[in-house]
Amino acid sequence: MPVLVGNSALYTRAVLDRFEFPGTDPGVRARLEGLLERVGSPALHARLAEADPEAAARILPTNGRRVVRALEVVELTGSFSATLPAREYVDAHTVQVGLDCPRPVLDRRIEERVHRMWDAGLVDEVRRLEAQGLRDGPTASRALGYQQVLALLAGELTEEEAVASTVTGTRKFARRQDAWFRKDHRIHWVGHDDPARVTRALDGVGRTHG
């Protein structure tokens, strides 16, 4: 039985649901990427907000790659939001279980995790990857943690600022993901610290398969 653990709400749906996005148009994509280079991600995000406010609300203004993709879909189909599929599992036996964690607890754990990443050598890791072309990557260079360390290495942030920015960015990301997952009524939620959480999770599986 395959088990999927973690990941973002969008990627989870892409694996579990009948999920097909419109194709791409190389010409439209190249034009939007050129515009991204000239005016920057926030300006393009403002353009997306005018064309599809719902889509803009789901995408960070600083995530140029996703803003470009959303604008491409809007140009090709008229709406990015309308292309999101209905919640329909590919496999009817699929079960989702979510851990319900209070925001203060989650915020504290995120901060602790970021500090552990730093202590484990994140700066040295990014320094090595930078030498291998990390800054040229359109996705990895913008990842939480990598983006802040690259700014640190460039002298744009102090180490304290880089750590704080990573904590803040991760907390915001977690809030958005939680909001996405909460909209999915198929998820069986169990308390993260509930002693009976395994039993409750299995009960959810049993109800789905029963």
**By the 8 A CB rule, do 145 and 114 touch?**
yes
User: In the prediction, which pLDDT does 83 show?
Assistant: 67
35 and 115 assigned to the same domain: no
Domain containing residue 65: CATH number: 1.10.20.140
If asked whether residues 149 and 54 sit together in one domain, one would say no
Range of the domain at 103: 96-201
Instruction: Give the predicted TM-score (pTM) of the model.
Output: 0.74
Query: Any idea what the CATH number is for the domain that residue 161 is in?
Result: 1.10.287.890
Q: 21, 70 in Cβ contact below 8 A?
A: no
What amino acid occupies position 168? T
Assess contact for 89 and 115: CB atoms under 8 A: no
Residues 108 and 53 in one domain: no
> Within a domain: residue 208?
no
Burial 164-197 (b: 16+ CB within 10 A, else e): ebbbebbeeebeeeeeebeeeeebbebeeeeeee
Of 83, 117, 148, the residue at which a domain comes to its end is 83
- How is residue 98 annotated by DSSP? E
Domain membership flag for residue 146: yes
Q: Does a structural domain hold residue 206?
A: no
Q: Are residues 171 and 150 in the same domain?
A: yes
> Stretch 35-42: mean pLDDT, rounded?
93
Same domain, 168 and 107: yes
Rg from Cα positions in the chain? 20
- For the chain, the domain total comes to 2
> 141-157, pLDDT tens digit by residue?
889 999 999 999 999 99
Is there a single domain that holds both residue 63 and residue 153?
A: no
> CB neighbours of 139 closer than 8 A, spacing ≥ 6?
65
| Cα end-to-end distance, the chain, whole Å | 17
Indicate if the pLDDT at residue 101 is higher than 60: yes
Instruction: Based on the fold, state whether residues 107 and 55 are members of the same structural domain.
Output: no
The predicted structure's pLDDT at residue 19? 75
